[in-house]
């Protein structure tokens, strides 16, 4: 039986991710990019086709050095430590796959992930969000759309990618809840308040089309038949520009993105007494440590301690 080389095994692994693990097309595409670049960088010093036994600790050290210095053509600057971690996670997953198949290679446990510092969480207080909403002209279809977008992001804690994928039929405006498919193709419930639901209704009431997408841009059909209407579906970048527009109009100097509204959603829940496990579920975080980035700014106990022991009147 002929032994498979690494390039063949990578293709097997990608098929395994898509078919057996049910990973999304985007995830598989990213893994293919990361592993192809590993293969190209790590095999430069080999005089033969890379085999599983060629992946050693020494190869890993050289690869990590190259990865740290690598400037991808699509970015024109070095990879951030966080992005380098994604490359190593993909490689470790590939090595685990080899181990499960009984193929001798580097122990996945020897692929150490670098410690990365999480960026400081930026969130908006309710009065800042209200200032953004007050800056919207509700006499236009665009204004009604933008108001619905901002309220939906803050009320439901949606990721911008989840918002962009929404169709009219996905959201129940009477029960104030619906389901989205988030990261890792996991479904989770989204709950919204009556105000957000009302704003979506107002926007849909002035629409004069039958396109399924919940939020549309203002472009017209280029003449290419598209019954899905996706040519007019808002993109994450479009929503980013919408958020930037009203951030400036409200006089907010923070760097605000659609994800800032998701941070604000989580922060508001915790500040009002929600337990962190519930917030984890509402955000769709698979790991509680991801949700814990909010606790240092929302723990009411810390505020009580400061007030009790660091008051000017003491």
pLDDT in tens, 142-165: 999 999 999 999 999 999 999 999
Measured CA to CA, the distance from residue 105 to residue 93 in angstroms comes to 13
Q: What's the pLDDT tens digit per position in 204-226? A: 999 999 899 999 998 765 555 55
How many C-beta atoms lie closer than 10 Å to residue 36's C-beta? 13
How big is the CA angle at 165 (ends 249 and 146), to the nearest 5 degrees?
Answer: 20
Q: Which CATH code, of 1.10.443.10, 3.30.750.24, 1.10.275.10, 3.40.630.10, is assigned to 126-304? A: 1.10.443.10
Phi, psi of 178 (to 5 degrees): -165, 175
Beta bridge partners of 216: 233
Measured CA to CA, the distance from residue 75 to residue 97 in angstroms comes to 30
* Pairing relationship of beta strands 187-191 and 177-181 according to DSSP bridges: antiparallel
Active site members = 159, 183, 259, 262, 285, 294
Measured CA to CA, the distance from residue 123 to residue 119 in angstroms comes to 12
> What's the topology of domain 6-110?
DNA polymerase; domain 1 (1.10.150)
The residue whose two tokens read 């841009």 is 217
E strands, the chain, are 171-172, 177-181, 187-191
Domains 6-110 and 126-304 share a fold: no
Measured CA to CA, the distance from residue 6 to residue 20 in angstroms comes to 20
pLDDT at residue 231, as a whole number: 80
* pLDDT in 10s for each residue of the chain, 314 residues: 458 899 999 999 999 998 988 888 888 999 999 999 999 999 888 888 999 999 999 999 999 999 989 888 877 788 888 888 999 999 999 999 999 999 999 999 999 887 766 667 789 999 999 999 999 999 999 999 999 999 999 999 999 999 999 999 999 899 998 998 877 677 889 999 999 999 999 999 999 998 999 999 987 655 555 555 678 899 999 999 999 999 999 999 999 999 999 999 998 888 888 888 888 888 988 888 778 877 766 665 566 666 666 655 55
Q: Give me the helix-helix angle, 236-249 and 258-271, nearest 10°.
A: 70
Distances (CA, A) of 231 to 36, 126, 217: 32, 34, 9
Structure tokens at 28: 């598989």
Task: Yes or no: say if 183 and 22 are a contact pair by the CB < 8 Å rule.
Answer: no
The residue whose two tokens read 């009604």 is 144
Beta bridge partners of 177: 172, 191
Domain ranges (residues) in the chain: 6-110, 126-304
Measured CA to CA, the distance from residue 279 to residue 267 in angstroms comes to 9
């Amino acid at each position: 039986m002929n032994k498979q080389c690494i390039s063949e095994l990578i293709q097997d692994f990608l098929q395994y991710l898509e078919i057996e693990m049910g990973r999304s097309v985007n995830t598989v595409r990213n893994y293919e990019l990361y592993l192809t670049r590993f293969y190209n960088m790590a095999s430069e010093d080999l005089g033969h086709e890379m085999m599983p036994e060629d992946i050693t600790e020494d190869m890993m050290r050289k690869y990590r050095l190259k990865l740290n210095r690598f400037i991808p053509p699509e970015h024109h600057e070095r990879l951030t430590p966080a992005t380098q971690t994604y490359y190593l996670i993909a490689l470790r997953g590939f090595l685990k796959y080899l181990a499960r198949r009984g193929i001798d290679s580097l122990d996945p446990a020897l692929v150490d992930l670098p410690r990365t510092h999480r960026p400081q969480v930026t969130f908006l207080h309710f009065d800042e969000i209200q200032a953004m909403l007050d800056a919207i002209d509700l006499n236009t279809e665009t204004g009604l759309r933008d108001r619905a977008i901002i309220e939906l992001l803050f009320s439901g804690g949606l990721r911008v990618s989840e918002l962009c994928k929404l169709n009219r039929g996905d959201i129940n405006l009477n029960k104030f809840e619906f389901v989205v498919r988030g990261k890792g193709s996991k479904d989770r419930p989204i709950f919204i308040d009556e105000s957000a639901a009302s704003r979506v209704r107002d926007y849909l009431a002035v629409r004069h089309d039958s396109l399924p997408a919940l939020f549309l841009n203002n472009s017209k059909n280029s003449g290419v038949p598209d019954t899905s209407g996706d040519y007019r579906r808002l993109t994450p970048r479009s929503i980013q520009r919408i958020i930037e527009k009203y951030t400036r109009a409200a006089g907010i100097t923070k760097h605000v993105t659609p994800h800032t509204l998701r941070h604000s959603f989580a922060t508001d829940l915790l500040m009002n007494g929600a337990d962190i496990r519930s917030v984890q579920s509402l955000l769709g975080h698979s790991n509680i440590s991801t949700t814990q980035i909010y606790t240092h700014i929302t723990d009411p106990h810390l505020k009580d301690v400061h007030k009790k022991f660091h008051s000017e009147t003491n």
